[in-house]
Structure 1
Amino acid sequence: MLHIVNGDSVAHTLQQGIVQGDILVWRELYPHGPNSLESTRGNRFARAQYLEQTLGIPHAEFVRNSKAQKKLLEDFHSYEEIVLWFEHDLFDQTMLAYLLHWFSGQSLSNTKLSLLEIGDFPGIEPFRGLGQLNVEQLATLAGTWRPIGAKELALGESFWQAYASPDPSLLQRLLEQDTSALPYAREAFQLHLSRFPSTFNGLGIVEQTTLEMVHTAAQSPFELFQETGNKLHALGMADLEYWYILRKLSHGPFPLLQVQGLGAFPTYMESAASLRDCKVVLTELGEKVMNGEEDWLTLNGINEWYGGVHLLGNSPRWRWDANMRRMKHED
């Protein structure tokens, strides 16, 4: 039996006698950086380059890990059953969609696919993920997985195709269909669309939420990450992603935030302890943008990836209309 899980913490706990068989930690961060349908060498290198530039993840390490986990995945026929362990948030749902997409293109033969996914757990509030559970709690989930059938495979494939497409309207249309075969996908991918720059002021939901929290009370970056993560828990946002967002908001010719007492934001494998002593405050422009009096993209421009969508320049083709809860295409 092979268990594919979302992180080292879950893997370590499962190894405490909870499950039998091998464990594969799927190390990816699909909500950040370029994604594509074709898993080519060129696409892998482009993704590795982006992750190194924005998060500090070493290019060689990413490529090496991608090759290694793909090789293990391609050996799936040696297992009688493969169990996917994932949560409700976007971080996990993108991994689940990718894996279902990949398996949908394989001849499974006698290998059985199963799925365990949860969005809450008794006594854990707020529930952020499987990594919060101890040995006894995680053990209660062992054996409760359900078979993955044709509906799950087809829907997972559709979600990945839509997510990795350069046209976000494909995902919008998919969310209007029956997605009950994957019960947590709708909320996660709907929240993904709200990460796009808004028609209101050019900010996505993470940036807008951050400005509103700073406006209420100046806080340290560490506190902001905790509170934003709790409010937008369905994103499953990693700290490196958030430091990157704070860096964008506080740097450049049009900063919306000022981080007082900061040397530099931590990158991959660096401690974030120093951020506890910093203080984040709104700039005058930040308050105007927060209230919709200025548009940040018109001033600052953008060069970001959202799934398979690359937004570039001061007038990006796609924006999120929060009132209509729909993507808006701008010519």
Structure 2
Amino acid sequence: MLHIVNGDSVGDKLRLSRIEGDILVWREVYSFGPVFPDMNEDELQFRAQYLARTLGIPAAEFVEGCNSQEEQLRGIHQHEDVVLWFEHDLFDQTMLAYLLHQLFKQSLGDTRVHLLCIGEFPGIEPFHGLGQLSVEQLETLEGTWRKIGKDEFALGSAIWQAYASSKVEDHLAVVCMNTSALPYAHTAFTHHLARFPFAFNGLGIVEQTILELVSDGVTTPAELFRQTGDRLHVLGMGDVEFGHWLRRMLQQPHALLELQDTGQLNEVSLDAPLPPRNSTIMITALGRSVLTGEHDWITIAGIDQWYGGLHLQGPIDWRWDSREGRLRTPQ
């Protein structure tokens, strides 16, 4: 049996458990940065350079790791049973869609593929993911997975191709699909769309949430990350990605936030993704005017951001309507 899991924390605990089988930790963050339907070598290199620049992930190590795990995925038919361990958030749902897309193209032979995907666990509140569970708690999930077939593979492949598309209409199509075969997909990809600039003020849901929290008095980096993660747990955002959004909001000359009680911001780094612990984060005058909708941040600062396969640049016609919970189409 092979277990494909969503991170090292889960993989390490499974190795300590009584659950038998080999473990493949899938290390990617498809919810951030550019992705492409099948990601050839040039596209993988492009993604690697983007992640190095924005998150501090070493490009060569990233490419080597991706190629290694892809090779292992191609050998999946050597196992009689494969279990995919995932959860409800966008981080996991993009990863799950990608894996189902890749497996959909393979000849699996007699290999049986099973899915364990949860959005809650007794006694864990708020539930962020499998990494919160102890070894003993993970063991209680043994055998609760279900065998999946053509419906899940076809749906996962369709979701991935839409998410990796450069056409906004394809991204919209995901939340219109019948996603009952993958019940957490609809909510996760609705939150994906909520990352688009708001019609109200040009912020996405991450920036909006951060500004609201700072305005309400949450001023330390660690606490700001914790509370943002609690509010936006459906995104599954880690501290490295959170650090990227924070840096963008601190960037001059159109900063929405500013650091006090510290020197300059650290360089982009996996080891120190957040500002120094003794920093105080405050909202700027521009931040307040954007938060109230007096100014539109995209109009002032522009945008150059990837959401899946969609590259948002320049004037943005498509805006997220937070009241109606949908993307507003161009007039």
Percent identity, please: 52
Structure 1 range deviating more: 89-98 or 101-110? 101-110
- CA shift, 1:266, in A, is 6.1
For the residues of structure 2 that align with 1:311 and 1:243, how far apart are their CA atoms? 20
1:323 positional shift: 2.2
- Give the Cα separation in 2 of the matches to 1:168 and 1:265: 35
Deviation at 1:218, TM superposition (A): 4.1
C-alpha displacement at 1:98, in angstroms?
0.3
SS of 2:16's partner is: coil
2:283 maps to which residue? 282
Q: In 1, are the aligned partners of 2:196 and 2:320 still within 8 Å (CA)?
A: yes
Residue 6 of structure 1 contacts residue 27 of structure 1 at CA under 8 Å; is this kept in 2?
yes
Counterpart CA distance in 1 for 2:57 and 2:318 is: 28
Contact 2:4 2:23 in 1 (8 A): yes
Q: Is the 8 A contact 2:88 2:185 kept in 1?
A: yes
Rounded Cα–Cα distance in structure 2 between residues aligned with 1:113 and 1:266:
42
TM-score scaled to structure 2, two decimals? 0.96
Equivalent residue, structure 2, for 1:43: 43
Q: Which residue of 1 aligns with 2:122?
A: 122
**Which residues in structure 2 correspond to 1:52-67 (within 5 Å)?**
52-67=52-67
Q: CA deviation at 1:158?
A: 1.2
Return the alpha-carbon distance in structure 1 between the equivalents of residues 180 and 10 of structure 2: 26
1:239 is aligned to 2:239: yes
Q: What's the secondary structure of 1:113's corresponding residue?
A: strand
Q: CA deviation at 1:38?
A: 2.5
Contact kept, 8 Å, 1:169 with 1:327, in 2: the verdict is no
Asked whether the 8 Å contact 2:207–2:245 carries over to 1, the reply is yes
The CA distance in 2 between the partners of 1:65 and 1:167, in whole Å, is 29
1:244-273 CA distances to partner (integer Å, 9 max, x unpaired)? Answer: 101110112111101212532464431468
Amino acid at match of 1:130: L
Q: Does 1:164 align with 2:164?
A: yes
Residue of structure 2 in register with 1:111 after alignment: 111
> What secondary structure sits across from 2:319 in the alignment?
strand
User: Which consecutive residues of structure 2, in runs of 5 or more, have no partner in the other structure?
Assistant: none
Structure 1 residues 1-331: aligned runs within 5 Å:
1-260=1-260, 261-265=262-266, 267-271=268-272, 275-313=276-314, 315-330=315-330
141-150 vs 268-277, which deviates more? 268-277
Deviation at 1:16, TM superposition (A): 1.2
Does structure 2 conserve the Cα–Cα contact (< 8 Å) formed by 1:240 and 1:267? no
- What is the CA-CA distance between 1:109 and the residue it aligns to? 1.1
- Mapped partners of 1:39, 1:272: distance in 2: 27
Deviation of 1:169 (Å) = 2.3
For 2:274 and 2:81, the matched residues in 1 are separated by: 42
Q: Normalization by structure 1: what TM-score? A: 0.96
Deviation of the 1:60 alpha carbon: 0.3
How big is the shift at 1:145?
A: 0.5
User: Matched residues in 2 for 1:155 and 1:12: separation?
Assistant: 30
RMSD: 1.5
CA distance in 2, matches of 1:47, 1:255: 26
Q: Deviations over 1:280-327 (max 9, x none)?
A: 1110110000011000011100110001100112x1243212223222
Q: CA deviation at 1:174?
A: 2.9
Contact 2:166 2:311 in 1 (8 A): yes
Q: How many positions carry a matched residue from both structures? A: 330
Secondary structure of the 2:34 match is coil
Amino acid at match of 2:13: T
Whole-Å Cα distance in 1 between the matches of residues 21 and 10 of structure 2?
A: 15
- Counterpart amino acid of residue 307 in structure 1: G
> In the aligned structure 1, how far is the partner of 2:269 from the partner of 2:20?
32
Structure 1 residue matching 2:208: 3-state secondary structure: helix
8 Å contact from structure 2 (residues 174, 189) kept in 1: no
